[in-house]
């Protein structure tokens, strides 16, 4: 690795978040990269992730943080001046917020992304840039023929969704993330910046403060552990493929190591068919793991929900040899272990349970 990338100056937008903090920690542990965390700390809990990273990097001089917003173009430009790699994870993630305030959603997801791209272009050095998009760019995918089988939906096409699936943005959130991922792709074609787009399915793992806005698998687990009831929209047979953040981190490393092959590409990234699971099946896994019953009530499904989304990651596998290694059960165990080590963060007086009043977003059955 050091021969391919002798000097790594890494900027992570959204670096205190769930995915960003896991990636930053991986870099601290396995490389000599200098890391710049750029985050507005708007999501409750992420301050703890930043403090954890600062403890891990104490005395090394390798970690820097900037508390700022990607909508501030001048601050973004300053942050990337010496970057050799840029990871753009910062986003507005709630569909309900995008419906309530489409302008805010656009400004953060499209405007913020354009600021990052322009800042990268202005360096003149063409730094590697990875952007995390979403499966929501494919819309409701309602034209597929689905069959309800037991506790889940199944599809006649069992290989999952690959990158040939037509784009069909749905909701302001889908539009903003879809527009952003097209900008990222085009900056590779037009300006020669080596960009990669990951259209991701359900990511779960340690350091995820799951709540109704994002992180439904973790949110379900925390709810049963705390005896907090939740809402399941629809019949619970909706299916997603789950990818552990540890495997996502491996995918990041694979695409930067093979940037000569991955630059300019878009990849669907998720747990794949072997890690496809329904809402009801996740509840069953959690109850077996914890020995507790999950209390929930049902509400009508929300418009635009994908009843079934499973990633076909064969393109990424062909290009870099990456495959998921952790299944759904192992991923839940990872989250459970982390929750036990950070139990104080989930006390009744912490900021995390206060989010219980927010609208459910990433749980299949909700608009996403």
- Residue showing tokens 């059960």: 329
CB-count exposure of residue 344 (10 Å: 0-12, 13-18, 19+): exposed
Concerning whether 267 is annotated as a catalytic residue, the answer is no
- The three-point CA angle 252-255-260 to 5° equals 155
Of 274, 70, 99, the closest CA to residue 173 belongs to: 99
Which CA distances in Å does 323 have to 232, 252, 264?
30, 12, 20
257 membership: H or E segment, kind and range = helix 245-257
Of 67, 68, 109, 113, the closest CA to residue 92 belongs to: 109
The catalytic position among 153, 173, 222, 336 is 173
CA dihedral 93, 94, 98, 99 (to 10 degrees): 160
Backbone angles phi, psi at 141, to 5 degrees: 50, 45
Catalytic residues: 173
């Amino acid at each position: 690795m050091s021969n391919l990338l002798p000097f790594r100056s890494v900027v992570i937008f959204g670096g205190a978040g769930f995915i960003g903090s896991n990636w930053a920690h991986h870099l601290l542990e396995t490389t000599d990269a200098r890391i710049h965390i750029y985050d507005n700390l708007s999501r409750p809990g992420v301050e703890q992730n930043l403090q954890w990273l600062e403890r891990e990097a104490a005395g090394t001089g390798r970690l820097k943080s900037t508390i700022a917003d990607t909508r501030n173009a001048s601050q973004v430009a300053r942050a990337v001046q010496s970057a050799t790699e840029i990871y753009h994870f910062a986003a507005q993630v709630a569909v309900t917020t995008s419906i309530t305030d489409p302008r805010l959603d656009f400004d953060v997801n499209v405007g913020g992304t354009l600021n990052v791209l322009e800042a990268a272009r202005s360096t003149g050095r063409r730094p590697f840039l990875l952007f995390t998009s979403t499966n929501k760019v494919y819309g409701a995918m309602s034209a597929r023929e689905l069959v309800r089988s037991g506790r889940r939906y199944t599809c006649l096409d069992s290989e999952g969704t690959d990158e040939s699936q037509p784009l069909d943005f749905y909701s302001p959130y889908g539009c903003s993330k879809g527009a952003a991922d097209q900008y990222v792709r085009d900056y590779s074609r037009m300006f020669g910046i080596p960009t990669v787009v990951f259209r991701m399915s359900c990511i779960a793992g340690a350091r995820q403060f799951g709540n109704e806005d994002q992180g439904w698998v973790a949110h379900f687990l925390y709810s049963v552990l705390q005896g907090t009831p939740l809402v399941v929209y629809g019949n619970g047979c909706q299916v997603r493929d789950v990818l552990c953040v540890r495997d996502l981190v491996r995918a990041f490393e694979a695409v930067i190591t093979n940037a000569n092959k991955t630059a300019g590409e878009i990849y669907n990234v998720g747990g794949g068919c072997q890690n496809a699971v329904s809402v009801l099946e996740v509840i069953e896994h959690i109850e077996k793991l914890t020995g507790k019953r999950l209390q929930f009530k049902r509400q009508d499904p929300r418009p635009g929900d994908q009843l079934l989304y499973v990633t076909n990651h064969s393109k990424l596998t062909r290009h870099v040899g990456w495959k998921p290694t952790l299944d759904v059960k192992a991923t839940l165990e990872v989250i459970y272990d982390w929750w036990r080590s950070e139990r104080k963060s989930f006390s009744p007086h912490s900021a995390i349970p206060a989010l219980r009043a927010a609208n459910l977003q990433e749980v299949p059955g909700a608009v996403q």
